[in-house]
A = this chain, B = another copy of it.
Amino acid sequence: MTTLDRFLTGDRVALAKVISFVEDRADGYDRVLSRIFSGGKAAYRVGLTGPPGAGKSSLVNRLAVLLADQGLKVGIIAVDPSSPFSGGALLGDRVRMQALYGRPEIFVRSMATRGSSGGLAAATKDVCVVLEGFGFDIILVETVGVGQIELDVASVCDTVVVVFVPESGDAIQAMKSGLMEIANVFCLNKSDRPGAERIKAELESILDVHRQVRLVAKGSPPPWETPVIPTVAIRDTGIAHLWEAVFQHRQYRSQADPAGFRKARARSDLLLSLTELTHERLERTLLESDQLNLAVEQIVSGQADPYTIAHQLFDSWRRG
């Protein structure tokens, strides 16, 4: 029996192997994905992002247990664009494993893929496809940080929860990080700390302004009103409320435009795959030949500029 056969019979060891195969972009990984792809039946993907120390892992753990208690199968992907030195999110994993030990409905996976942010978003999306193919109902994608990569990774999800804490600084920072556009739900964790009321009020007033300036076409459904949900993850407070908000957003999306929702996801997944494929083929060609080294010599010696060279290399690659 091959790993893929065992995967299809529900073997968790095979699941872990297939994920590694896909995450590592091993030779033939896209053929495997092509076989696993579940077509119509997709899990609901929820992204959780926010600054380090906001308690995202605790929130994700609590949510997972809540959903598992409802009989749902939950896959967790912890995305950590970490360093070769730290070797991935090992510490986080160990802590997590203890909390979720003995829950067969929950599967946890850390991703420490390096490389470009586009590549990481693509790999995350593919691991979602693997989990969907395995039969998970809900996928929770946790990303560390609030930079562009987290936004890219979150963008492969259907609902994005942005996690804040009262110490996150004034709400203007939220706007600056471009989180307003990507957040479907704001979660104010550690909401028992000083300043929680103030930051919640600030966020809500910014969201209010945001809503007022937004143009809504006549006859189109009313826009989603991003809620701010207070939680205290370590005390298991507000978790059901948070999930309710996610669930409402899910219903909002599928009611507003059911076909459009699925198409938008298929489209963005496809573009991610295509971009990665192109990038990989181009780089392979360049590295196999000596063209790149020659080009660098020409630039450094002042014989050519990098822009003209880029066009030349592209044209020669495209001609094959």
Query: Do the beta carbons of A34 and B305 come within 8 Å of each other?
Result: yes
State in angstroms the CA–CA spacing of A270 and B179 once bound together.
31
- What CA separation (Å) do A34 and B279 show in the bound complex? 23
Contacts of A172 in B (CB 8 A): 91
Contact of A281 among B120, B300, B314 (CB under 8 A): B314
The one of B31, B82, B279, B302 in contact with A275, judged by C-beta atoms closer than 8 angstroms, is: B279
* Residue numbers in B under 8 Å from A179 (CB-CB): 83
Verify if A47 is at the interface (C-beta below 8 Å from B).
Answer: no
Tell yes or no: A8 within 8 A of B by CB: no
Closest to A276 in B: B310
Known contacts A53-B169, A296-B267: A308-B89 contact under CB 8 Å? no
CA A84 – CA B151 in complex, angstroms?
14
C-alpha spacing A82/B173, complex, angstroms: 10
Check if A216 is an interface residue, CB within 8 A of chain B: no
Rounded to whole Å, the gap between the CB of A278 and the closest CB of chain B is: 5
A: interface residue count bin: 35 or more
Stretch at the interface among A219-227, A242-250, A258-266: A258-266
Shortest beta-carbon distance from A143 to chain B in Å: 9
Residues of chain B within 8 A (CB-CB) of A270 are 292, 295-296, 299, 306, 309-310, 313
What residues of chain B lie closer than 8 Å to A181, measured between beta carbons? 83-85
Contacts of A173 in B (CB 8 A): 52-53
Residue A10 is within 8 A (CB to CB) of chain B in the complex: no
Q: Are B313 and A274 in contact (CB under 8 A)?
A: yes
* Known contacts A85-B210, A176-B80, A320-B318, A117 near B149 by CB under 8 Å: yes
- Chain A, residues 139-153, CB within 8 Å of chain B (1/0): the string is 000001111111110
**Closest Cβ neighbor of A303 among chain B residues:** B39
Interface string of A31-65 (1 = CB under 8 A from B): 10110010110000000000111000000000000
